[in-house]
Structure 1
Amino acid sequence: MTPPPPDLLLARKVLAAQPFSVLVGARLEVFEPGRAVLALDIRDDLKQQNGFVHGGVLAYAADNAITFAAGTVLGPAVLTGGVTISYVRPAVGATLEAEATMASGGRRQATCRCDLFTVAPDGARTLCAVAQGTVLTAG
């Protein structure tokens, strides 16, 4: 059975129902077949002691973007099976964007890649981390 086409408004409601996503101020910018972009404003309370976005925030953004990207193909009942992340450079800027795309997928599992960028006030994007994750259907 083929899942219905991605519905950005419904996906945003799902994100809004996640208390941690609300806490960090995450928003879903893109939700299309095989691709999702999650963004959040970089605030002082999301930084570590050196002024960089905390690695846990980067990992959260990658995990959620990967799961949403896979959900566009697998359907809404999905769970993260695993995520790995490599931090490329310290994350500084105005906004964090996690851009996830499906690399491979079947009926019950998908593998996605996620590039995490910081965006400066002038719009310049800088790669700060790369992640990969596996997403499974829940059921």
Structure 2
Amino acid sequence: MTALTLEDARKGLASQPFSVLLGTRVTAFGDGAAALELDIREDLLQQNGYLHGGVLAYAADNAITFAAGTTLGPAILTSGFSIEYLRPAKGIRLVAEAQVLHSGRRQATCRCDLHVISQDGIMTLSAVAQGSVMTRNRSTPD
């Protein structure tokens, strides 16, 4: 496999309509890690004014998959993940940083820390996630 680049990751993210809708950006990609960011907007909040848990879960899922892509290549899918919400996410930007914990030939396990950055630049850990990503079976049609 030829090593994927940050530009490859950005093109991959740009091909995901939901990621485009949210305005997600890949800010780091390589060496078993990836980071995604998105600006927190009013339309992404839940009824109490915090970032919706579904947005946090989306960011964790995608960051985990991108991190795994640095070791497994682009033909991959999330096979499962869990998330723990630690504190309400309130701020101006969400940062999802994922790291590969273990990677084999067909599967990788990753961890993701989800931080929210406040208006004054303070970074607060809001959630953590762990998941597995596997290579797609190339003989099965999409």
Into which bin does the TM-score normalised by the smaller protein fall?
Answer: over 0.9
Percent sequence identity over matched residues?
Answer: 63
| TM-score scaled by length of structure 1 | 0.96
The 5-angstrom pairing of residues 115-130 of structure 1 reads 115-130=113-128
The total of aligned residue pairs comes to 137
C-alpha separation in 1, matches of 2:7 and 2:105? 24
Q: Deviations over 1:56-114 (max 9, x none)?
A: 00000000000000000000100000010000000001100000000111010000000
| TM-score scaled by length of structure 2 | 0.94
C-alpha separation in 2, matches of 1:4 and 1:54? 37
C-alpha separation in 2, matches of 1:35 and 1:85? 18
Q: Which amino acid is 2:113 matched to?
A: D
Partner of 2:74: 76
C-alpha separation in 1, matches of 2:96 and 2:32? 14
Runs (5+) with no aligned partner, structure 2: 138-142
Superposed structure 1 runs of 4+ greater than 6 Å apart: none
Partner of 1:11: 9
The 5-angstrom pairing of residues 39-78 of structure 1 reads 39-78=37-76
Helix, strand or coil: the match of 1:131? strand
C-alpha separation in 1, matches of 2:41 and 2:81? 24
Partner of 1:92: 90
Runs (5+) with no aligned partner, structure 1: none
Partner of 1:23: 21
